Amino acid sequence: MLLVIDVGNTNITIGLYEGKGIKCHFRMTTQLPRTSDEYGIMLTELIEHHGFGVGDVSGVIIASVVPNVMYSLTSSIVKYFNTEPLIVGPGTKTGIRIDTTNPREIGPDRIVDAVAAYEIYGGPILVLDFGTATTYDLVTEEGHFVAGITAPGIRISAKALWEGTAKLPEIEIVKPISILAQDTITSMQAGLMFGQIGQTEYIIRQVKKEAGLKDMKVVATGGLGRIISDETDLIDEYNADLTLEGLRIIYGKNR
Protein backbone atom coordinates (compact mmCIF):
# COMPACT_ATOMS: atom_id res chain seq x y z
CA MET A 1 0.00 0.00 0.00
CA LEU A 2 1.09 3.57 -0.63
CA LEU A 3 1.11 6.24 2.07
CA VAL A 4 0.78 9.77 0.62
CA ILE A 5 1.48 12.82 2.79
CA ASP A 6 0.73 16.46 1.97
CA VAL A 7 2.36 18.86 4.45
CA GLY A 8 0.54 22.20 4.30
CA ASN A 9 0.97 25.33 6.38
CA THR A 10 -2.06 24.51 8.52
CA ASN A 11 -2.64 20.75 8.24
CA ILE A 12 -0.83 17.58 7.25
CA THR A 13 -3.18 15.51 5.09
CA ILE A 14 -2.52 11.79 4.77
CA GLY A 15 -4.02 9.12 2.52
CA LEU A 16 -3.52 5.37 2.26
CA TYR A 17 -3.89 3.85 -1.21
CA GLU A 18 -4.21 0.30 -2.44
CA GLY A 19 -3.63 0.53 -6.17
CA LYS A 20 -5.72 3.46 -7.42
CA GLY A 21 -8.25 3.21 -4.59
CA ILE A 22 -7.98 5.33 -1.48
CA LYS A 23 -8.72 3.26 1.62
CA CYS A 24 -8.65 6.03 4.22
CA HIS A 25 -7.48 9.56 4.79
CA PHE A 26 -6.93 11.70 7.86
CA ARG A 27 -5.36 14.95 9.05
CA MET A 28 -3.11 16.27 11.78
CA THR A 29 -2.10 19.83 12.52
CA THR A 30 1.20 21.11 11.16
CA GLN A 31 2.54 21.67 14.64
CA LEU A 32 6.12 22.72 15.39
CA PRO A 33 8.13 21.11 16.79
CA ARG A 34 7.46 17.35 16.78
CA THR A 35 10.03 14.59 17.11
CA SER A 36 10.37 11.68 14.70
CA ASP A 37 8.93 9.39 17.38
CA GLU A 38 5.88 11.62 17.80
CA TYR A 39 5.25 11.56 14.06
CA GLY A 40 5.87 7.83 13.88
CA ILE A 41 3.53 6.97 16.73
CA MET A 42 0.77 9.27 15.46
CA LEU A 43 0.96 7.89 11.91
CA THR A 44 1.05 4.31 13.18
CA GLU A 45 -1.95 4.79 15.44
CA LEU A 46 -3.98 6.56 12.76
CA ILE A 47 -3.30 3.80 10.24
CA GLU A 48 -4.11 1.06 12.76
CA HIS A 49 -7.31 2.89 13.76
CA HIS A 50 -8.51 2.42 10.17
CA GLY A 51 -7.82 -1.32 10.23
CA PHE A 52 -4.39 -1.41 8.58
CA GLY A 53 -0.88 -1.97 9.85
CA VAL A 54 2.58 -0.53 9.34
CA GLY A 55 3.54 -3.71 7.49
CA ASP A 56 0.92 -2.98 4.84
CA VAL A 57 2.79 0.17 3.73
CA SER A 58 5.35 -0.50 1.00
CA GLY A 59 5.91 3.05 -0.26
CA VAL A 60 5.65 6.65 0.96
CA ILE A 61 5.58 9.96 -0.93
CA ILE A 62 5.63 13.44 0.63
CA ALA A 63 4.96 16.94 -0.72
CA SER A 64 5.75 19.71 1.74
CA VAL A 65 5.67 23.51 1.87
CA VAL A 66 6.97 23.52 5.47
CA PRO A 67 10.70 22.72 5.40
CA ASN A 68 11.09 22.76 9.20
CA VAL A 69 9.03 19.61 9.72
CA MET A 70 10.77 17.53 7.08
CA TYR A 71 13.74 16.19 9.05
CA SER A 72 11.59 14.72 11.82
CA LEU A 73 8.87 13.55 9.43
CA THR A 74 11.20 11.78 7.00
CA SER A 75 13.13 10.26 9.90
CA SER A 76 9.88 8.87 11.29
CA ILE A 77 9.07 7.22 7.95
CA VAL A 78 12.48 5.54 7.81
CA LYS A 79 12.31 4.48 11.46
CA TYR A 80 8.70 3.28 11.72
CA PHE A 81 7.94 2.18 8.14
CA ASN A 82 11.40 0.97 7.16
CA THR A 83 11.29 2.77 3.82
CA GLU A 84 12.85 5.89 2.30
CA PRO A 85 10.09 8.35 1.29
CA LEU A 86 9.98 9.97 -2.13
CA ILE A 87 10.04 13.76 -1.64
CA VAL A 88 8.40 15.81 -4.41
CA GLY A 89 10.89 18.43 -5.60
CA PRO A 90 13.30 19.35 -8.38
CA GLY A 91 14.13 16.25 -10.42
CA THR A 92 10.91 14.43 -9.57
CA LYS A 93 9.11 13.08 -12.65
CA THR A 94 5.68 14.66 -12.83
CA GLY A 95 4.51 14.45 -16.43
CA ILE A 96 4.00 18.21 -16.72
CA ARG A 97 6.43 20.92 -17.77
CA ILE A 98 6.90 24.05 -15.67
CA ASP A 99 7.04 26.99 -18.09
CA THR A 100 7.41 29.88 -15.66
CA THR A 101 10.20 32.40 -15.10
CA ASN A 102 11.66 30.39 -12.21
CA PRO A 103 10.27 26.84 -12.05
CA ARG A 104 11.93 26.20 -8.66
CA GLU A 105 9.68 28.84 -7.10
CA ILE A 106 6.55 26.76 -7.76
CA GLY A 107 5.53 24.97 -4.56
CA PRO A 108 5.34 21.18 -4.64
CA ASP A 109 1.71 21.31 -3.50
CA ARG A 110 0.78 23.31 -6.60
CA ILE A 111 2.69 20.96 -8.87
CA VAL A 112 0.95 17.96 -7.31
CA ASP A 113 -2.49 19.56 -7.78
CA ALA A 114 -1.64 20.43 -11.39
CA VAL A 115 -0.50 16.88 -12.13
CA ALA A 116 -3.68 15.39 -10.70
CA ALA A 117 -5.98 17.81 -12.50
CA TYR A 118 -4.23 17.32 -15.84
CA GLU A 119 -4.12 13.53 -15.55
CA ILE A 120 -7.75 13.21 -14.42
CA TYR A 121 -9.48 15.95 -16.42
CA GLY A 122 -7.04 16.86 -19.21
CA GLY A 123 -6.05 20.34 -20.35
CA PRO A 124 -6.34 23.21 -20.64
CA ILE A 125 -7.34 23.42 -17.00
CA LEU A 126 -7.32 25.96 -14.19
CA VAL A 127 -6.67 24.42 -10.77
CA LEU A 128 -7.98 26.23 -7.67
CA ASP A 129 -6.80 25.27 -4.18
CA PHE A 130 -8.60 26.91 -1.26
CA GLY A 131 -6.04 26.34 1.48
CA THR A 132 -4.04 28.64 3.74
CA ALA A 133 -3.52 30.62 0.54
CA THR A 134 -5.94 30.50 -2.38
CA THR A 135 -4.08 29.54 -5.54
CA TYR A 136 -5.06 29.46 -9.22
CA ASP A 137 -2.76 27.51 -11.57
CA LEU A 138 -3.08 27.20 -15.35
CA VAL A 139 -2.03 24.05 -17.23
CA THR A 140 -2.25 24.03 -21.03
CA GLU A 141 -3.59 21.32 -23.32
CA GLU A 142 0.01 20.13 -23.84
CA GLY A 143 0.58 19.77 -20.08
CA HIS A 144 2.59 22.95 -19.51
CA PHE A 145 2.24 24.80 -16.21
CA VAL A 146 2.31 28.37 -17.51
CA ALA A 147 0.85 30.68 -14.87
CA GLY A 148 -0.12 30.90 -11.22
CA ILE A 149 -2.04 33.41 -9.10
CA THR A 150 -1.76 33.53 -5.30
CA ALA A 151 -4.23 35.27 -2.98
CA PRO A 152 -4.80 35.24 0.80
CA GLY A 153 -6.90 32.29 1.91
CA ILE A 154 -10.26 32.84 3.56
CA ARG A 155 -8.95 31.94 7.03
CA ILE A 156 -5.94 34.26 6.65
CA SER A 157 -8.27 37.09 5.66
CA ALA A 158 -10.60 36.34 8.57
CA LYS A 159 -7.73 36.19 11.06
CA ALA A 160 -6.35 39.50 9.81
CA LEU A 161 -9.81 41.03 10.21
CA TRP A 162 -10.34 40.14 13.85
CA GLU A 163 -6.71 40.39 14.98
CA GLY A 164 -6.12 43.75 13.27
CA THR A 165 -9.16 45.48 14.74
CA ALA A 166 -10.05 46.25 18.34
CA LYS A 167 -13.76 45.45 18.33
CA LEU A 168 -14.33 42.79 15.65
CA PRO A 169 -14.72 39.29 17.16
CA GLU A 170 -13.43 35.93 15.99
CA ILE A 171 -16.19 34.32 13.93
CA GLU A 172 -17.20 31.06 12.30
CA ILE A 173 -16.47 31.12 8.56
CA VAL A 174 -19.81 30.34 6.95
CA LYS A 175 -21.86 31.92 4.16
CA PRO A 176 -24.76 33.99 5.52
CA ILE A 177 -28.21 33.76 3.98
CA SER A 178 -28.01 37.28 2.57
CA ILE A 179 -25.28 39.80 1.73
CA LEU A 180 -27.53 42.43 3.34
CA ALA A 181 -26.05 41.95 6.81
CA GLN A 182 -27.59 43.68 9.82
CA ASP A 183 -25.17 42.73 12.61
CA THR A 184 -21.40 42.64 13.10
CA ILE A 185 -20.85 38.89 12.83
CA THR A 186 -23.02 38.47 9.74
CA SER A 187 -21.41 41.50 8.12
CA MET A 188 -17.96 39.92 8.56
CA GLN A 189 -19.19 36.59 7.22
CA ALA A 190 -20.78 38.32 4.23
CA GLY A 191 -17.62 40.26 3.44
CA LEU A 192 -15.40 37.20 3.69
CA MET A 193 -17.56 34.71 1.81
CA PHE A 194 -19.12 36.89 -0.87
CA GLY A 195 -15.78 38.62 -1.30
CA GLN A 196 -14.09 35.26 -1.92
CA ILE A 197 -16.80 34.22 -4.38
CA GLY A 198 -16.43 37.51 -6.25
CA GLN A 199 -12.64 37.24 -6.33
CA THR A 200 -12.83 33.67 -7.57
CA GLU A 201 -15.22 34.48 -10.40
CA TYR A 202 -13.25 37.55 -11.49
CA ILE A 203 -9.91 35.69 -11.58
CA ILE A 204 -11.40 32.77 -13.52
CA ARG A 205 -12.93 35.12 -16.10
CA GLN A 206 -9.72 37.14 -16.41
CA VAL A 207 -7.54 34.03 -16.84
CA LYS A 208 -9.87 32.74 -19.55
CA LYS A 209 -9.80 36.13 -21.27
CA GLU A 210 -6.03 36.72 -21.17
CA ALA A 211 -5.16 33.11 -22.01
CA GLY A 212 -7.74 32.97 -24.80
CA LEU A 213 -9.21 29.79 -23.32
CA LYS A 214 -12.94 30.39 -23.18
CA ASP A 215 -13.81 26.69 -22.77
CA MET A 216 -11.07 25.89 -20.24
CA LYS A 217 -12.10 23.46 -17.50
CA VAL A 218 -11.93 24.67 -13.88
CA VAL A 219 -11.43 22.29 -10.95
CA ALA A 220 -11.23 23.18 -7.25
CA THR A 221 -9.91 21.51 -4.12
CA GLY A 222 -9.02 22.52 -0.56
CA GLY A 223 -10.85 22.78 2.74
CA LEU A 224 -13.27 25.59 1.88
CA GLY A 225 -13.32 24.84 -1.83
CA ARG A 226 -16.64 23.02 -1.71
CA ILE A 227 -18.42 26.02 -0.17
CA ILE A 228 -17.12 28.32 -2.89
CA SER A 229 -17.66 25.86 -5.74
CA ASP A 230 -21.28 25.38 -4.67
CA GLU A 231 -21.85 29.12 -5.07
CA THR A 232 -20.58 29.63 -8.62
CA ASP A 233 -21.15 27.95 -11.97
CA LEU A 234 -17.64 28.95 -13.11
CA ILE A 235 -16.12 26.00 -11.21
CA ASP A 236 -16.79 22.76 -13.11
CA GLU A 237 -15.60 20.20 -10.55
CA TYR A 238 -14.75 19.98 -6.86
CA ASN A 239 -12.34 17.18 -5.91
CA ALA A 240 -11.52 16.97 -2.20
CA ASP A 241 -8.79 14.36 -2.79
CA LEU A 242 -7.06 16.09 -5.70
CA THR A 243 -3.72 16.57 -3.90
CA LEU A 244 -3.65 13.00 -2.60
CA GLU A 245 -4.45 11.73 -6.10
CA GLY A 246 -1.60 13.81 -7.49
CA LEU A 247 0.83 12.26 -5.01
CA ARG A 248 -0.32 8.78 -6.00
CA ILE A 249 0.12 9.59 -9.70
CA ILE A 250 3.59 11.08 -9.20
CA TYR A 251 4.72 8.09 -7.14
CA GLY A 252 3.68 5.82 -10.01
CA LYS A 253 5.70 7.87 -12.48
CA ASN A 254 8.83 7.59 -10.32
CA ARG A 255 8.75 3.91 -9.39
Domain ranges of the chain: 2-87, 97-247
Kind and range of the H or E element at 24? strand 21-29
Q: In angstroms, rounded to a whole number, what is the distance separating the alpha carbons of residues 131 and 56?
A: 30
In this prediction the pTM is 0.92
- The reply to whether domains 2-87 and 97-247 share a CATH topology is yes
233 annotated active-site = no
The class (CATH top level) of 97-247 is alpha beta
Beta-strand pair 125-130/59-64:
unpaired
Chunked in runs of 10, what are the mean pLDDT values of the chain (255 residues)? 95 96 94 92 95 95 96 97 95 93 92 97 97 95 96 92 88 91 94 95 98 96 91 96 97 94
Side-chain half-sphere exposure of 185, counting CA atoms within 13 A: 8
Per the residue annotation, which of 109, 113, 129, 137 is the catalytic one? Answer: 109
Per-residue pLDDT of 181-209, as tens digits, reads 999 999 999 999 999 999 999 999 999 99
Give residue-wise pLDDT tens across range 236-245: 999 999 999 9
Q: What is the largest CA-CA distance in the chain?
A: 58
Domain at 2-87, CATH class: alpha beta
